[in-house]
Amino acid sequence: MNDPVDPSVSDKHIPVLLERCIALLEPAISMPGAVVVDATLGMGGHSFHMLNRFPDLTLIGLDRDTDALRIAGERLANFGDRVHLVHTVYDGIAKAIRKSGFKRVDGILFDLGVSSLQLDEADRGFAYAQDAPLDMRMNQNEGVQASEILATYSEGNLRRIFERYGEEKLAGRYARAIIAAREVKPILRSTELVQILSDATPAAVRQLRHPAKKVFQALRIEVNQELSVLDAAIPAAIDSLNVGGRLVVMSYHSLEDRLVKQDFAARSRSTAPADLPVELPEHRPELRLLTRGAEQASEQEREENPRSQSVRLRAVERVRIPE
């Protein structure tokens, strides 16, 4: 099915795995009176198509980025009171649902990582290929900027975040280079950081990959506390589903995917002791896995939409609510 597309944003924002997400959510969100949460609203790409395709659907859209909420609000304005937008980080999902007048919902979608809007806005500092102030905050009204982290973190702490959040093998070398460079002058712009990292990278490695990619990812995760937020958000999202409700999560690096996998696995297996002859209702799984492992985008989509290249999709259905 081809939905109408808003030309003002369609050329900038191609929703990742759009049809697969909708197909997984459809059994839950196509019912009369269904409610879906887009926990990472962005510019509203997935939300626009869900609302258009299911005329009885109500949407709760969450985003920490006020620019994203404004753009999505304009794009979704024609859907009227079917849309509830909430300015919050996605670990506030349960409170946002209650604020919108609901106890539980029928579908939830997470499209994690940096949004197309944030990548396209050069002055946000997310993209290492564009010169910009090193900000990287998804909510520019609060929090610590990437430049502050580079100016204040010790060599050990810089190495830690590069290793943990970027899985960067040259973390120690990069941390030392940053410490040395900031003693000369503050590191305030993306091009300055890229040059420091490039100078610290062996020529053989520079030929294989961009030296800044993993460091920029690590800084972004640290600035926005993405893993700690996700660690709280997934259990809260599961608890917010009705029986028969479905949760779809798209992640873009192994650390995110591992957290999602662990939460889904823990609540999709029985908690009954191994020697219990009969499984009691309270031990039955809360979730049913809808995907076998993590699904990836097709080769065609990866070519057409670069943002889909690293996506990993997992989905579950809620089958039981503990008493």
Binding residues: 44-46, 63, 90, 111, 118
What pairing do the DSSP bridges indicate for beta strands 58-63 and 83-87? parallel
Identify which of 144, 148, 68 has the alpha carbon closest to the alpha carbon of residue 111.
68
Identify which of 224, 173, 231 has the alpha carbon closest to the alpha carbon of residue 199.
173
Q: What amino acid is encoded at 11 in this protein?
A: D
Q: To 5 degrees, how large is the angle CA 268–CA 58–CA 43?
A: 90
- What distance in Å separates the CA atoms of residue 199 and residue 190, rounded to the nearest whole number? 14
| Cα-based distances in Å from 151 to 41, 145, 187, 196, 223 | 32, 10, 7, 14, 13
Q: To 5 degrees, how large is the angle CA 62–CA 64–CA 68?
A: 80
List binding-site positions for S-adenosyl-L-methionine: 44-46, 63, 90, 111, 118
The gap from C-alpha 49 to its chain's centroid, in whole angstroms, comes to 19
Q: 264 near 316, Cβ under 8 Å?
A: yes
Any bridge partners for residue 318, and if so which? 287
Query: Does residue 62 sit in helix, strand or coil?
Result: strand
- What distance in Å separates the CA atoms of residue 215 and residue 64, rounded to the nearest whole number? 23
**Token couple for 235:** 């259990």
71-86 in b/e form (b: 16+ CB < 10 A) is bbeebbeebeeebbbb
**Token couple for 311:** 């996506």
| Cα-based distances in Å from 264 to 123, 149, 248, 291, 318 | 37, 33, 11, 11, 10
